[in-house]
Copies of this chain bind each other. A is one copy, B any other.
Protein backbone atom coordinates (compact mmCIF):
# COMPACT_ATOMS: atom_id res chain seq x y z
CA UNK A 1 0.00 0.00 0.00
CA UNK A 2 1.44 3.36 -0.99
CA UNK A 3 2.26 5.62 1.93
CA UNK A 4 0.14 8.77 1.69
CA UNK A 5 2.14 11.99 1.94
CA UNK A 6 0.36 15.25 2.44
CA UNK A 7 0.05 17.27 -0.76
CA UNK A 8 1.22 20.78 0.00
CA UNK A 9 -1.42 23.42 -0.51
CA UNK A 10 -0.78 26.88 -1.82
CA UNK A 11 -2.90 29.98 -1.41
CA UNK A 12 -5.25 30.64 -4.36
CA UNK A 13 -4.05 33.51 -6.52
CA UNK A 14 -7.51 35.08 -6.39
CA UNK A 15 -7.34 35.15 -2.59
CA UNK A 16 -3.89 36.63 -2.19
CA UNK A 17 -1.70 36.91 -5.27
CA UNK A 18 1.41 37.92 -3.34
CA UNK A 19 1.08 34.95 -1.00
CA UNK A 20 0.33 32.64 -3.94
CA UNK A 21 3.56 33.83 -5.56
CA UNK A 22 5.63 33.30 -2.45
CA UNK A 23 4.04 29.89 -1.89
CA UNK A 24 5.10 28.77 -5.37
CA UNK A 25 8.62 30.08 -4.89
CA UNK A 26 8.96 28.03 -1.72
CA UNK A 27 6.88 24.94 -2.45
CA UNK A 28 8.22 24.37 -5.93
CA UNK A 29 11.63 24.59 -4.22
CA UNK A 30 12.89 27.37 -6.43
CA UNK A 31 14.28 29.63 -3.81
CA UNK A 32 14.85 29.85 -0.08
CA UNK A 33 15.58 32.75 2.18
CA UNK A 34 19.16 33.10 3.41
CA UNK A 35 20.11 34.10 6.90
CA UNK A 36 21.38 37.41 5.49
CA UNK A 37 18.42 39.79 5.35
CA UNK A 38 17.18 40.43 1.81
CA UNK A 39 19.33 37.68 0.26
CA UNK A 40 18.04 34.51 -1.34
CA UNK A 41 19.36 31.10 -2.25
CA UNK A 42 18.64 29.67 -5.69
CA UNK A 43 17.87 26.03 -4.95
CA UNK A 44 18.65 23.29 -7.47
CA UNK A 45 15.28 23.40 -9.23
CA UNK A 46 15.28 27.19 -9.46
CA UNK A 47 18.89 27.25 -10.56
CA UNK A 48 18.24 24.61 -13.23
CA UNK A 49 15.60 26.91 -14.74
CA UNK A 50 18.15 29.74 -14.69
CA UNK A 51 20.75 27.48 -16.34
CA UNK A 52 18.34 26.66 -19.16
CA UNK A 53 17.64 30.35 -19.64
CA UNK A 54 21.35 31.13 -19.59
CA UNK A 55 22.17 28.48 -22.16
CA UNK A 56 19.63 29.74 -24.65
CA UNK A 57 20.48 33.41 -24.18
CA UNK A 58 24.22 32.82 -24.18
CA UNK A 59 23.98 30.99 -27.50
CA UNK A 60 21.94 33.88 -28.93
CA UNK A 61 24.49 36.42 -27.73
CA UNK A 62 27.38 34.42 -29.19
CA UNK A 63 25.60 34.00 -32.51
CA UNK A 64 25.75 37.78 -32.92
CA UNK A 65 29.45 37.92 -32.06
CA UNK A 66 29.39 38.61 -28.33
CA UNK A 67 32.04 37.10 -26.07
CA UNK A 68 32.01 36.54 -22.33
CA UNK A 69 34.46 38.06 -19.88
CA UNK A 70 34.78 38.40 -16.11
CA UNK A 71 35.33 41.78 -14.52
CA UNK A 72 36.25 42.32 -10.88
CA UNK A 73 33.30 42.43 -8.49
CA UNK A 74 34.63 45.38 -6.47
CA UNK A 75 34.73 48.92 -7.85
CA UNK A 76 36.77 51.70 -6.22
CA UNK A 77 34.55 54.58 -5.18
CA UNK A 78 36.62 57.07 -7.17
CA UNK A 79 36.11 55.03 -10.34
CA UNK A 80 32.38 54.79 -9.74
CA UNK A 81 32.23 58.55 -9.23
CA UNK A 82 33.75 59.49 -12.58
CA UNK A 83 30.32 59.48 -14.21
CA UNK A 84 28.06 61.71 -12.10
CA UNK A 85 24.64 60.41 -13.10
CA UNK A 86 25.53 56.77 -12.70
CA UNK A 87 26.93 57.22 -9.24
CA UNK A 88 24.02 59.31 -8.04
CA UNK A 89 21.70 56.59 -9.34
CA UNK A 90 23.50 53.67 -7.80
CA UNK A 91 25.61 54.86 -4.85
CA UNK A 92 22.66 55.03 -2.44
CA UNK A 93 22.14 51.30 -2.85
CA UNK A 94 25.73 50.01 -2.97
CA UNK A 95 27.19 47.56 -0.50
CA UNK A 96 30.62 48.84 0.53
CA UNK A 97 33.72 46.84 1.35
CA UNK A 98 35.78 48.88 3.79
CA UNK A 99 38.12 46.22 5.19
CA UNK A 100 40.44 43.72 3.53
CA UNK A 101 41.62 41.15 6.06
CA UNK A 102 42.38 43.16 9.16
CA UNK A 103 43.29 46.40 7.36
CA UNK A 104 41.00 49.34 6.90
CA UNK A 105 41.06 50.13 3.15
CA UNK A 106 42.28 53.53 2.03
CA UNK A 107 39.40 53.74 -0.39
CA UNK A 108 36.14 51.92 0.01
CA UNK A 109 35.08 49.51 -2.74
CA UNK A 110 31.53 49.03 -4.00
CA UNK A 111 30.20 45.57 -4.70
CA UNK A 112 29.22 46.06 -8.37
CA UNK A 113 25.64 47.29 -8.76
CA UNK A 114 26.33 47.25 -12.54
CA UNK A 115 29.67 47.26 -14.36
CA UNK A 116 29.74 50.10 -16.91
CA UNK A 117 32.54 51.73 -14.95
CA UNK A 118 34.72 48.61 -14.91
CA UNK A 119 34.27 47.97 -18.60
CA UNK A 120 35.12 51.59 -19.41
CA UNK A 121 38.16 51.51 -17.17
CA UNK A 122 39.36 48.32 -18.91
CA UNK A 123 38.68 49.69 -22.38
CA UNK A 124 40.55 52.88 -21.56
CA UNK A 125 43.64 50.67 -21.19
CA UNK A 126 43.22 48.12 -23.99
CA UNK A 127 41.53 49.95 -26.85
CA UNK A 128 43.84 51.51 -29.43
CA UNK A 129 42.47 51.43 -32.94
CA UNK A 130 39.16 51.42 -34.80
CA UNK A 131 40.29 48.01 -36.08
CA UNK A 132 39.56 46.55 -32.65
CA UNK A 133 35.97 47.79 -32.68
CA UNK A 134 33.33 46.79 -31.98
CA UNK A 135 34.07 45.13 -28.66
CA UNK A 136 31.01 43.05 -27.86
CA UNK A 137 31.28 41.84 -24.28
CA UNK A 138 28.95 40.12 -21.85
CA UNK A 139 29.27 38.74 -18.35
CA UNK A 140 27.17 36.41 -16.21
CA UNK A 141 27.47 37.27 -12.55
CA UNK A 142 25.65 38.51 -9.50
CA UNK A 143 25.22 42.13 -8.44
CA UNK A 144 24.14 43.75 -5.22
CA UNK A 145 21.66 46.59 -4.76
CA UNK A 146 20.79 47.34 -1.19
CA UNK A 147 16.99 47.40 -1.53
CA UNK A 148 14.75 48.14 1.44
CA UNK A 149 11.98 45.66 0.64
CA UNK A 150 12.67 42.43 -1.15
CA UNK A 151 10.75 39.59 -2.81
CA UNK A 152 12.15 36.38 -4.27
CA UNK A 153 13.35 36.89 -7.87
CA UNK A 154 11.63 40.26 -8.20
CA UNK A 155 13.71 42.34 -5.87
CA UNK A 156 16.52 41.00 -3.77
CA UNK A 157 19.72 42.51 -2.54
CA UNK A 158 21.79 40.10 -4.58
CA UNK A 159 20.53 38.91 -7.92
CA UNK A 160 21.99 36.98 -10.82
CA UNK A 161 22.05 38.44 -14.28
CA UNK A 162 23.91 38.97 -17.50
CA UNK A 163 25.19 42.39 -18.37
CA UNK A 164 26.24 43.08 -21.96
CA UNK A 165 28.61 45.97 -22.60
CA UNK A 166 29.70 47.04 -26.04
CA UNK A 167 31.62 49.85 -27.71
CA UNK A 168 31.38 50.86 -31.34
CA UNK A 169 33.06 53.13 -33.83
CA UNK A 170 29.90 55.07 -34.66
CA UNK A 171 26.71 56.19 -32.96
CA UNK A 172 24.67 54.38 -35.63
CA UNK A 173 26.35 51.05 -34.90
CA UNK A 174 25.80 51.46 -31.18
CA UNK A 175 22.13 52.33 -31.72
CA UNK A 176 21.76 49.27 -33.95
CA UNK A 177 23.31 47.12 -31.19
CA UNK A 178 20.94 48.56 -28.56
CA UNK A 179 18.02 47.70 -30.80
CA UNK A 180 19.35 44.27 -31.76
CA UNK A 181 19.73 43.30 -28.12
CA UNK A 182 16.28 44.60 -27.22
CA UNK A 183 14.89 42.41 -30.00
CA UNK A 184 16.94 39.52 -28.68
CA UNK A 185 15.21 39.93 -25.30
CA UNK A 186 11.80 40.27 -26.96
CA UNK A 187 12.42 37.05 -28.92
CA UNK A 188 13.51 35.28 -25.77
CA UNK A 189 10.42 36.38 -23.89
CA UNK A 190 8.03 35.51 -26.69
CA UNK A 191 9.57 32.35 -28.13
CA UNK A 192 11.18 30.81 -25.08
CA UNK A 193 9.31 32.13 -22.04
CA UNK A 194 6.01 32.28 -23.97
CA UNK A 195 5.38 35.79 -22.66
CA UNK A 196 4.36 38.50 -25.16
CA UNK A 197 5.97 41.87 -24.59
CA UNK A 198 5.46 45.53 -25.36
CA UNK A 199 8.63 47.09 -26.73
CA UNK A 200 9.33 50.73 -26.16
CA UNK A 201 11.48 53.48 -24.78
CA UNK A 202 11.65 54.53 -21.15
CA UNK A 203 10.97 58.13 -20.20
CA UNK A 204 13.79 60.36 -18.97
CA UNK A 205 12.60 59.71 -15.43
CA UNK A 206 12.59 55.92 -15.76
CA UNK A 207 15.71 55.44 -17.86
CA UNK A 208 18.95 53.91 -16.59
CA UNK A 209 21.15 56.31 -14.63
CA UNK A 210 23.64 57.78 -17.09
CA UNK A 211 22.09 56.41 -20.29
CA UNK A 212 21.04 58.59 -23.20
CA UNK A 213 18.17 56.25 -23.90
CA UNK A 214 16.79 53.09 -22.31
CA UNK A 215 14.64 50.61 -24.22
CA UNK A 216 12.55 47.98 -22.50
CA UNK A 217 10.36 44.95 -22.95
CA UNK A 218 7.36 45.15 -20.63
CA UNK A 219 5.07 42.29 -19.80
CA UNK A 220 1.74 41.58 -18.16
CA UNK A 221 1.32 39.34 -15.14
CA UNK A 222 -1.82 37.37 -14.22
CA UNK A 223 -2.80 39.91 -11.58
CA UNK A 224 -2.63 42.59 -14.30
CA UNK A 225 0.34 44.28 -12.79
CA UNK A 226 3.20 44.84 -15.18
CA UNK A 227 6.82 43.77 -15.10
CA UNK A 228 9.88 45.26 -16.77
CA UNK A 229 11.33 42.25 -18.56
CA UNK A 230 14.79 43.42 -19.62
CA UNK A 231 16.39 46.66 -20.74
CA UNK A 232 18.87 47.81 -23.37
CA UNK A 233 20.67 51.14 -23.05
CA UNK A 234 22.36 53.54 -25.42
CA UNK A 235 25.05 55.73 -23.84
CA UNK A 236 26.37 57.76 -26.75
CA UNK A 237 29.97 58.67 -25.93
CA UNK A 238 29.22 60.02 -22.47
CA UNK A 239 30.98 57.30 -20.50
CA UNK A 240 33.83 57.12 -23.03
CA UNK A 241 34.51 60.78 -22.38
CA UNK A 242 34.17 60.42 -18.61
CA UNK A 243 36.53 57.42 -18.51
CA UNK A 244 38.94 58.48 -21.25
CA UNK A 245 38.18 55.59 -23.61
CA UNK A 246 39.66 56.56 -26.98
CA UNK A 247 40.83 55.05 -30.23
CA UNK A 248 42.68 56.13 -33.33
CA UNK A 249 40.00 56.50 -35.98
CA UNK A 250 40.14 55.79 -39.71
CA UNK A 251 41.38 59.34 -40.22
CA UNK A 252 43.99 58.82 -37.49
CA UNK A 253 42.36 61.30 -35.10
CA UNK A 254 41.62 60.34 -31.52
CA UNK A 255 37.95 59.47 -31.11
CA UNK A 256 35.53 58.32 -28.42
CA UNK A 257 33.63 55.09 -29.03
CA UNK A 258 29.85 54.85 -28.64
CA UNK A 259 28.56 52.53 -25.98
CA UNK A 260 25.65 50.26 -25.07
CA UNK A 261 24.71 48.01 -22.20
CA UNK A 262 21.84 45.58 -21.78
CA UNK A 263 20.77 43.30 -18.98
CA UNK A 264 18.37 40.59 -17.95
CA UNK A 265 18.11 38.95 -14.56
CA UNK A 266 16.74 36.09 -12.48
CA UNK A 267 13.57 38.17 -12.18
CA UNK A 268 12.65 36.48 -15.47
CA UNK A 269 11.86 33.44 -13.31
CA UNK A 270 9.46 35.65 -11.36
CA UNK A 271 7.90 36.73 -14.65
CA UNK A 272 7.38 33.10 -15.67
CA UNK A 273 5.72 32.29 -12.35
CA UNK A 274 3.31 35.22 -12.55
CA UNK A 275 2.60 34.94 -16.28
CA UNK A 276 1.84 31.21 -16.38
CA UNK A 277 1.38 29.84 -12.86
CA UNK A 278 -2.00 28.68 -11.54
CA UNK A 279 -3.54 27.51 -8.30
CA UNK A 280 -1.87 24.13 -8.62
CA UNK A 281 1.57 25.74 -8.77
CA UNK A 282 4.20 26.61 -11.29
CA UNK A 283 3.65 26.14 -15.03
CA UNK A 284 6.87 26.09 -17.01
CA UNK A 285 7.35 26.72 -20.72
CA UNK A 286 8.92 23.49 -22.06
CA UNK A 287 12.03 25.23 -23.38
CA UNK A 288 13.23 26.16 -19.89
CA UNK A 289 11.73 23.31 -17.87
CA UNK A 290 14.40 21.28 -16.01
CA UNK A 291 12.08 18.29 -16.40
CA UNK A 292 10.04 18.48 -19.60
CA UNK A 293 8.32 15.14 -19.21
CA UNK A 294 7.58 13.18 -16.05
CA UNK A 295 6.73 9.53 -16.56
CA UNK A 296 4.45 8.11 -13.88
CA UNK A 297 3.92 4.36 -13.71
CA UNK A 298 0.33 3.47 -12.75
CA UNK A 299 -0.04 0.45 -10.44
CA UNK A 300 3.71 0.17 -10.53
CA UNK A 301 3.81 -3.02 -8.41
CA UNK A 302 2.18 -4.90 -11.31
CA UNK A 303 4.62 -6.87 -13.45
CA UNK A 304 6.13 -5.02 -16.38
CA UNK A 305 4.91 -1.53 -15.45
CA UNK A 306 8.19 -0.12 -14.13
CA UNK A 307 10.06 -1.58 -17.06
CA UNK A 308 7.59 -0.05 -19.49
CA UNK A 309 7.86 3.36 -17.77
CA UNK A 310 11.64 3.14 -17.88
CA UNK A 311 11.45 2.22 -21.56
CA UNK A 312 9.39 5.33 -22.30
CA UNK A 313 11.87 7.48 -20.39
CA UNK A 314 14.79 6.08 -22.35
CA UNK A 315 13.03 6.67 -25.67
CA UNK A 316 12.09 10.26 -24.82
CA UNK A 317 15.56 11.01 -23.55
CA UNK A 318 17.01 9.64 -26.74
CA UNK A 319 14.68 11.99 -28.59
CA UNK A 320 16.44 14.87 -26.84
CA UNK A 321 13.95 15.58 -24.05
CA UNK A 322 14.63 16.11 -20.34
CA UNK A 323 12.71 13.23 -18.76
CA UNK A 324 12.34 11.55 -15.39
CA UNK A 325 10.45 8.55 -14.08
CA UNK A 326 9.05 8.76 -10.57
CA UNK A 327 8.94 5.23 -9.24
CA UNK A 328 8.93 6.28 -5.59
CA UNK A 329 6.36 4.74 -3.25
CA UNK A 330 4.36 7.95 -3.02
CA UNK A 331 0.73 7.73 -4.17
CA UNK A 332 -0.30 8.60 -7.72
CA UNK A 333 -2.30 11.54 -6.37
CA UNK A 334 0.68 12.93 -4.53
CA UNK A 335 2.93 12.51 -7.54
CA UNK A 336 0.53 14.28 -9.89
CA UNK A 337 0.15 17.17 -7.45
CA UNK A 338 3.90 17.33 -6.90
CA UNK A 339 4.81 17.60 -10.58
CA UNK A 340 2.00 20.06 -11.15
CA UNK A 341 3.47 22.17 -8.34
CA UNK A 342 6.84 21.98 -10.07
CA UNK A 343 5.31 23.02 -13.38
CA UNK A 344 6.48 20.01 -15.41
CA UNK A 345 4.89 20.65 -18.82
CA UNK A 346 3.96 17.07 -19.72
CA UNK A 347 3.01 14.00 -17.72
CA UNK A 348 3.06 10.52 -19.21
CA UNK A 349 1.04 7.84 -17.45
CA UNK A 350 1.42 4.17 -18.19
CA UNK A 351 -0.24 1.25 -16.41
CA UNK A 352 -1.06 -2.41 -17.02
CA UNK A 353 -4.12 -1.68 -19.15
CA UNK A 354 -2.18 0.82 -21.25
CA UNK A 355 0.55 -1.71 -21.84
CA UNK A 356 -2.01 -4.26 -22.90
CA UNK A 357 -3.61 -1.75 -25.26
CA UNK A 358 -0.20 -0.61 -26.60
CA UNK A 359 -0.76 2.98 -25.49
CA UNK A 360 0.02 5.59 -22.88
CA UNK A 361 -1.63 8.80 -21.72
CA UNK A 362 -0.11 12.25 -22.11
CA UNK A 363 -1.41 15.04 -19.86
CA UNK A 364 -0.58 18.68 -20.48
CA UNK A 365 0.22 20.77 -17.41
CA UNK A 366 -1.19 24.03 -18.68
CA UNK A 367 -4.74 22.91 -19.49
CA UNK A 368 -4.99 19.36 -18.17
CA UNK A 369 -5.76 18.05 -21.67
CA UNK A 370 -5.29 14.27 -21.92
CA UNK A 371 -4.26 12.50 -25.10
CA UNK A 372 -4.13 8.74 -25.52
CA UNK A 373 -1.17 7.86 -27.69
CA UNK A 374 -0.05 4.70 -29.47
CA UNK A 375 3.25 3.64 -27.94
CA UNK A 376 5.00 3.62 -31.29
CA UNK A 377 4.13 7.30 -31.74
CA UNK A 378 5.45 8.39 -28.35
CA UNK A 379 8.31 10.62 -29.49
CA UNK A 380 6.38 12.61 -32.06
CA UNK A 381 3.32 12.82 -29.80
CA UNK A 382 5.35 14.11 -26.85
CA UNK A 383 7.07 16.69 -29.03
CA UNK A 384 3.70 17.76 -30.39
CA UNK A 385 2.14 18.07 -26.95
CA UNK A 386 5.10 20.08 -25.64
CA UNK A 387 4.74 22.39 -28.61
CA UNK A 388 1.06 22.73 -27.72
CA UNK A 389 1.95 23.61 -24.14
CA UNK A 390 4.35 26.27 -25.40
CA UNK A 391 1.74 27.67 -27.79
CA UNK A 392 -1.07 27.39 -25.26
CA UNK A 393 0.89 29.34 -22.69
CA UNK A 394 1.77 32.03 -25.17
CA UNK A 395 -1.77 32.31 -26.45
CA UNK A 396 -3.24 32.67 -22.97
CA UNK A 397 -0.63 35.24 -22.02
CA UNK A 398 -1.24 37.12 -25.27
CA UNK A 399 -4.96 37.33 -24.55
CA UNK A 400 -4.23 38.42 -20.99
CA UNK A 401 -2.03 41.19 -22.34
CA UNK A 402 -4.32 42.32 -25.14
CA UNK A 403 -7.41 42.33 -22.96
CA UNK A 404 -5.66 44.50 -20.40
CA UNK A 405 -4.61 47.54 -22.40
CA UNK A 406 -7.03 50.41 -21.93
CA UNK A 407 -7.07 53.86 -23.45
CA UNK A 408 -7.78 56.85 -21.25
CA UNK A 409 -8.21 60.55 -21.96
CA UNK A 410 -7.62 61.89 -18.46
CA UNK A 411 -5.81 61.07 -15.24
CA UNK A 412 -9.14 60.38 -13.60
CA UNK A 413 -10.18 57.95 -16.29
CA UNK A 414 -6.75 56.29 -16.19
CA UNK A 415 -7.05 55.89 -12.44
CA UNK A 416 -10.55 54.43 -12.69
CA UNK A 417 -9.52 51.96 -15.41
CA UNK A 418 -6.51 50.85 -13.43
CA UNK A 419 -8.62 50.41 -10.32
CA UNK A 420 -11.20 48.36 -12.20
CA UNK A 421 -9.05 46.27 -14.54
CA UNK A 422 -5.37 46.77 -13.81
CA UNK A 423 -3.19 46.36 -16.89
CA UNK A 424 -1.57 48.95 -19.11
CA UNK A 425 -3.39 52.25 -19.36
CA UNK A 426 -2.42 54.05 -22.54
CA UNK A 427 -2.75 57.80 -22.88
CA UNK A 428 -1.27 60.61 -24.90
CA UNK A 429 1.48 62.51 -23.13
CA UNK A 430 3.13 65.89 -23.58
CA UNK A 431 6.55 64.56 -22.56
CA UNK A 432 6.71 66.66 -19.44
CA UNK A 433 7.93 65.02 -16.23
CA UNK A 434 5.43 67.01 -14.16
CA UNK A 435 2.61 65.05 -15.83
CA UNK A 436 4.43 61.78 -15.21
CA UNK A 437 4.75 62.64 -11.53
CA UNK A 438 1.09 63.62 -11.37
CA UNK A 439 0.02 60.25 -12.83
CA UNK A 440 2.12 58.54 -10.19
CA UNK A 441 0.71 60.61 -7.38
CA UNK A 442 -2.93 60.65 -8.40
CA UNK A 443 -3.35 57.32 -10.15
CA UNK A 444 -0.55 55.31 -8.53
CA UNK A 445 0.98 54.38 -11.88
CA UNK A 446 4.48 54.82 -13.22
CA UNK A 447 5.21 55.22 -16.90
CA UNK A 448 6.15 51.82 -18.31
CA UNK A 449 7.28 52.83 -21.78
CA UNK A 450 6.64 54.87 -24.89
CA UNK A 451 5.78 51.94 -27.18
CA UNK A 452 7.46 51.69 -30.56
CA UNK A 453 4.01 51.03 -32.00
CA UNK A 454 2.43 54.42 -31.54
CA UNK A 455 -1.25 55.30 -31.83
CA UNK A 456 -2.84 58.72 -31.93
CA UNK A 457 -5.47 58.49 -29.20
CA UNK A 458 -6.05 62.23 -29.19
CA UNK A 459 -4.14 65.42 -29.83
CA UNK A 460 -3.54 66.36 -26.23
CA UNK A 461 -1.79 65.10 -23.11
CA UNK A 462 -4.19 63.24 -20.81
CA UNK A 463 -2.66 64.97 -17.82
CA UNK A 464 -2.30 68.64 -18.75
CA UNK A 465 -4.24 69.12 -21.98
CA UNK A 466 -1.24 70.59 -23.80
CA UNK A 467 -0.27 69.19 -27.21
CA UNK A 468 0.73 65.52 -27.00
CA UNK A 469 4.09 64.20 -28.12
CA UNK A 470 3.68 60.46 -27.63
CA UNK A 471 1.36 57.72 -26.65
CA UNK A 472 2.63 56.26 -23.39
CA UNK A 473 1.81 53.14 -21.34
CA UNK A 474 1.22 53.45 -17.60
CA UNK A 475 0.95 50.64 -15.11
CA UNK A 476 1.50 49.34 -11.63
CA UNK A 477 4.78 47.53 -11.92
CA UNK A 478 6.66 44.86 -10.02
Contacts of A121 in B (CB 8 A): 34-35
Partner of A96, one of B97, B144, B157: B97
C-alpha gap A44/B69 in the complex (Å): 5
Q: Is residue A36 within 8 Å, beta carbon to beta carbon, of the partner chain?
A: yes
Contacts of A158 in B (CB 8 A): 72-74
Given A68-B44, A111-B97, A142-B73, are A32 and B102 also a contact pair (CB < 8 Å)? no
Contact B109 A32 (CB under 8 A): no
User: Closest B-chain residue to A70, C-beta based?
Assistant: B42
- The 12 listed contacts between A and B (C-beta, < 8 Å) are A32-B126, A34-B71, A34-B118, A34-B121, A35-B76, A35-B79, A43-B126, A47-B67, A47-B69, A50-B70, A74-B95, A141-B142
Q: Is residue A40 within 8 Å, beta carbon to beta carbon, of the partner chain?
A: yes
Contact A74 B122 (CB under 8 A): no
C-alpha gap A75/B35 in the complex (Å): 9
C-alpha gap A39/B70 in the complex (Å): 11
A187 → chain B, closest Cβ, in Å?
A: 23
Q: Is residue A339 within 8 Å, beta carbon to beta carbon, of the partner chain?
A: no
C-alpha gap A158/B76 in the complex (Å): 14
C-alpha gap A93/B102 in the complex (Å): 8
A194 → chain B, closest Cβ, in Å?
A: 24
What 8 A-B pairs come out closest when comparing CB atoms? A44-B67, A39-B72, A42-B70, A96-B99, A100-B146, A101-B146, A34-B72, A98-B98
Contact A43 B69 (CB under 8 A): yes
Contact B34 A47 (CB under 8 A): no
Q: Is residue A125 within 8 Å, beta carbon to beta carbon, of the partner chain?
A: yes
Q: Is residue A398 within 8 Å, beta carbon to beta carbon, of the partner chain?
A: no
Q: Is residue A61 within 8 Å, beta carbon to beta carbon, of the partner chain?
A: no
Contacts of A108 in B (CB 8 A): 99
Known A35-B121, A41-B71, A97-B98; 18 more pairs at CB < 8 Å:
A32-B125, A34-B71, A36-B76, A36-B109, A41-B70, A41-B72, A41-B118, A41-B122, A42-B69, A44-B69, A47-B70, A48-B68, A51-B68, A95-B109, A96-B99, A97-B97, A100-B157, A141-B142
Of the candidates A34, A93, A118, A144, the one having the most CB atoms from chain B within 10 angstroms of its own CB is A34
C-alpha gap A367/B158 in the complex (Å): 48
A385 → chain B, closest Cβ, in Å?
A: 26
| Residue total for A at the interface (Cβ-Cβ under 8 A) | 52
Q: Is residue A320 within 8 Å, beta carbon to beta carbon, of the partner chain?
A: no
Q: Is residue A160 within 8 Å, beta carbon to beta carbon, of the partner chain?
A: yes
User: Closest B-chain residue to A34, C-beta based?
Assistant: B72
Of the candidates A51, A67, A73, A144, the one having the most CB atoms from chain B within 10 angstroms of its own CB is A73
Q: Is residue A21 within 8 Å, beta carbon to beta carbon, of the partner chain?
A: no
Q: Is residue A94 within 8 Å, beta carbon to beta carbon, of the partner chain?
A: yes
Q: Is residue A137 within 8 Å, beta carbon to beta carbon, of the partner chain?
A: yes
Q: Is residue A92 within 8 Å, beta carbon to beta carbon, of the partner chain?
A: yes
Partner of A72, one of B36, B43, B125: B36
Identify which of residues 80-130 in chain A touch chain B, using a CB-to-CB cut-off of 8 Å: 92-102, 108-109, 111, 118, 121-122, 125-126
Of the candidates A40, A47, A72, A121, the one having the most CB atoms from chain B within 10 angstroms of its own CB is A72
Identify which of residues 118-159 in chain A touch chain B, using a CB-to-CB cut-off of 8 Å: 118, 121-122, 125-126, 137, 141-142, 144, 146, 157-158
A260 → chain B, closest Cβ, in Å?
A: 17
Identify which of residues 261-296 in chain A touch chain B, using a CB-to-CB cut-off of 8 Å: none
